[in-house]
Amino acid sequence: MRTVASPVEGTEVRVEPKQSPGIEVNGVPATVDYVGKADVRVDLVDETRSDLVDGTRSFVVEHVLGVLGLRGVTAANVVGTREEWDFARPEHRFCYAAEMDPGNVVGHAAGLPNPALAEALGEADLAAGDSQPRQTVTEPVTHAANGGEIELRPREHGAGVRFDVTYGDATIEAEVDPRADNDEELIESVMDSKTPYLSPSEEEAVTHSIVDLVSDVAVVGGFDDLVVEAELADAYHELTIGASCKAHENGLVERRRES
């Protein structure tokens, strides 16, 4: 596993060291079991709690999780740091009405992934811990939702995740290992791209989709070695999170150590 050696600051968030595998956002594990919403955004929520006052729900987690995956960080405590309200954002209005704090919203206000966090992590010292099994699927997993389709296919141990993605008429291919260093040009291009709802072009939108796919499939889904082919449409987190959930629910997850 890899964690930060000391806290790292990004826009809206602080990433702190964690001594055990896995990522938590405001105390909630970033796994399929804790996804409370997945459509235009992804929220994590601890539904075993009857209250929302103590930070048990975090909004727009996909951007910070995708940055962590692109930087190969597999263990971290993410803490929302915003202290002021921005009532132009629906997530802030919800938090205020539910008596939560502005720090429960951890997504970038401009619809970017989190360029400041990506830069800070790129300069940070990462501490390596015990190696963990890598995960893939035992057989292809297909899923359709909201006019989109996705397929997750097995890949050899240590190969990472290959994305082949279409959004409208635009396409992108990318190779990402969520446990290692990744291509700086890819990271820079993704960090400069806004979410599809704010993107001026399909080309920018499909570039942005890589950070969302890394979040939803590699981090939340927990997959390290896959081929991912996706035709994305609007509100595609229902598609991408849905594929990860389907693999887990159907017992198609394989954990492997290097032989």
Write out pLDDT tens, residues 137-160: 999 999 999 999 999 999 999 999
Q: What is the pLDDT of residue 129?
A: 80
If we measure between CA atoms, which residue out of 24, 3, 210 comes closest to residue 106?
24
CA-nearest of 44, 140, 26 to 81 is 26
Average model confidence (pLDDT) across the chain: 95
User: What pTM was computed for the model?
Assistant: 0.96
- pLDDT, residue 91, reads 93
pLDDT at 163 over 50: yes
pLDDT level of residue 52 (50, 70, 90 thresholds): very low
Tokens of 90: 């629906």
Question: If you average pLDDT over residues 174-188, what whole number do you get?
Answer: 98
Label residue 258 by pLDDT band (50, 70, 90).
confident
| Residues 203-232: tens digit of each pLDDT | 999 999 999 999 999 999 999 999 999 999
Which residues fall within 8 angstroms of residue 213, CB to CB, at 6 or more apart?
66, 163, 165, 228, 230, 240
